[in-house]
Structure 1
């Protein structure tokens, strides 16, 4: 018995087979799904078409929040616009931070405009402000690191010294959900978001006493200079309560809580901290004299701070530190004044950040991207 196929049905089978073969080929390439999706996006709204040929409604749009003290805003905005045009995105919305708005208000305005990603261009303070507004939302944050520490960028393995690469990662990178911390310096006070670590005592005093002019010339070595002048201080008596359950009393120089612990120079201050494990790592530093500081430095250098000489780390979801005296407090390296109370709590998976894809990492290592 002979079965005759309708010509339209035959063509339909052939077309379906070709689609399957092409999809399998694309998905099997080294770039994987990301390149396939990017190719589809560019086919839908290719970068070389004029605005009259491609509807603005079909394009993505980014917001760029820039700290003008860290870079030439006009030059960065021009670079971002050129990259967005090449990638088939609308021109970015550009906002500058001010003394009165370090980035949170600008981010809220960007969200009201319905942008697809908010890019924080500045130091850790700018990134923290943008993260404060984005935490709890589904809009991802891209990062162009322009500060001295760039701590969050270091801890999520972003490229630090290539603005164009950082912008492209912000547009087409992989979304990663990370934890953020929430800190209060009064039991009934406002909550402040932090992305890396917050501390009370020695570390905050160093941040507060670092010379800005020296920091602009020496970078992170300016913190070392300030720290050397603070080593001889006296310990403070504190009560530390973990998860409303376990309490200790101690004489300490510093108490820090963090989501991640990599600092400049490859130093791992919190060696077991994981940025998306839903936990805070709390470090207690308790040397009594200059000699014992040597033990602290040896513990940190050897990544044994969790149970080192005059250091101790405990994991928790919430911690409250109460001191007999007013001590300096810092959020992600920014001094915020003095307090005898510091409460920190983790907010699991509260922030989505753009990080490099596997293919982007390969291209960056090969110094072959962008092209």
Structure 2
């Protein structure tokens, strides 16, 4: 098995020792490994696009942002593996992937493929989610130096800083052609958010549809209820949160430059056009994954 490992040395503050153990186990399992260290934002995508032969599998070693870059450079038919060493690692949680290097390597070599269908946000792939409104403000407001040093606490800091802004912007969302209004929205391919929190019990990463969560009431008190519900895995039970399946979503906001986040990183500005891809990506998971 030929494996290309793409490692982001800045994700999670760097995990060189874990990387060495991971690569050593891949080779112990009989894989031929090519290792690449990324040099900055967008480098993983550019590197992969320049390869004539990516191998049987490309493994993203880093966080969800690293996986997003690898996904956008992945050639058709090549499997995607993940060894999570980043801050949130939502996709790894969704696919029940281990954090131990040896176990993660064994899954890459000896596991199975499952079909995961990405979506495209304004032409660029994302694997887990994108958000506008409060969700995007939080991601855009993260202090990268604090994130590198303290991890998830950087997101908590940004969440607190952005709370009072919620409800100040109004968005028009077209869900498979159906017009709806909201004050924030998250479009997700899976159940999890921020690592271990359950955002949507209706979502299914193996289904070729996204789940659209619309936050349709203004006010800080409503937002705080939603955040409390997220901690309990009951977001879709909150009065004022709509949850719908979709294959195509369009989002606009008149008179304002509004950011978008995708897979935990800034992803440009509105308007947003989100469309499911026609073909799934094979992803490496444990044989026991269902």
Q: 1:227 aligns with which of 149, 155, 159?
A: 159
Distance apart, 1:279 and its partner CA: 1.0
| Match of residue 236 from structure 2 | 306
- Which protein has greater RCO, CA pairs closer than 8 Å, 6+ apart? 2
Distance apart, 1:350 and its partner CA: 1.6
Alignment of 1:85-96 (within 5 A): 85-90=27-32, 92-96=33-37
Find out whether 1:158 has 2:97 as its counterpart. yes
Structure possessing the higher radius of gyration over alpha carbons: 1
Distance apart, 1:327 and its partner CA: 1.0
Q: 2:114 aligns with which of 153, 176, 194?
A: 176
Distance apart, 1:296 and its partner CA: 1.9
**Matched position secondary structure for 1:277:** coil
Find out whether 1:198 has 2:198 as its counterpart. no
Structure-1-length-normalised TM-score:
0.71
Q: Which structure: greater helix fraction? A: 1
Q: Are the equivalent residues in 2 in contact too, given 1:263–1:269 (CA < 8 A)?
A: yes
The size of the alignment, in residue pairs, is 285
Q: Deviating runs (4+, > 6 A) in structure 1?
A: none
Instruction: After superposition, give the CA deviation of every residue in 1:244-298 in whole Å (9 maximum; x if it has no partner).
Output: x3112x351x111110131246321122100011111111123422222233234
**Matched position secondary structure for 2:261:** strand
Q: 1:107 aligns with which of 33, 43, 48?
A: 48
Distance apart, 1:347 and its partner CA: 2.1
Q: Are the equivalent residues in 1 in contact too, given 2:23–2:105 (CA < 8 A)?
A: no
Distance apart, 1:176 and its partner CA: 0.9
Distance 1:225 1:85, change over 3 A: closer
1:116 & 1:311 partners in 2: Cα distance? Answer: 42
Instruction: After superposition, give the CA deviation of every residue in 1:109-138 in whole Å (9 maximum; x if it has no partner).
Output: 44x235121111111111011112226x22
| Match of residue 67 from structure 2 | 127
1:269 & 1:198 partners in 2: Cα distance? Answer: 13
| Match of residue 10 from structure 1 | none
Alignment of 1:30-109 (within 5 A): 60-70=1-11, 71=14, 75=17, 78-90=20-32, 92-99=33-40, 101-109=42-50
Alignment of 1:289-304 (within 5 A): 289-304=219-234
Query: Gaps (5+ residues) in structure 2?
Result: none
Q: Are the equivalent residues in 1 in contact too, given 2:107–2:286 (CA < 8 A)?
A: yes
Instruction: After superposition, give the CA deviation of every residue in 1:41-82 in whole Å (9 maximum; x if it has no partner).
Output: xxxxxxxxxxxxxxxxxxx22111111223355x56643553
1:285 & 1:142 partners in 2: Cα distance? Answer: 33
| Match of residue 333 from structure 1 | 264
| Match of residue 34 from structure 1 | none
1:273 & 1:326 partners in 2: Cα distance? Answer: 29
Root mean square deviation, CA, Å: 2.2
2:253 & 2:218 partners in 1: Cα distance? Answer: 17
Distance 1:175 1:292, change over 3 A: same
Greater Cα shift, 218-227 or 75-84: 75-84
Q: Are the equivalent residues in 2 in contact too, given 1:287–1:296 (CA < 8 A)?
A: no
Q: Are the equivalent residues in 2 in contact too, given 1:142–1:353 (CA < 8 A)?
A: yes
Q: Are the equivalent residues in 2 in contact too, given 1:277–1:348 (CA < 8 A)?
A: no
Greater Cα shift, 311-320 or 293-302: 293-302
1:174 & 1:347 partners in 2: Cα distance? Answer: 22
| Match of residue 241 from structure 1 | 174
Q: Are the equivalent residues in 1 in contact too, given 2:259–2:268 (CA < 8 A)?
A: yes
1:141 & 1:226 partners in 2: Cα distance? Answer: 31
**Matched position secondary structure for 1:88:** coil
Query: Gaps (5+ residues) in structure 1?
Result: 1-59, 185-190, 362-371
Find out whether 1:286 has 2:228 as its counterpart. no
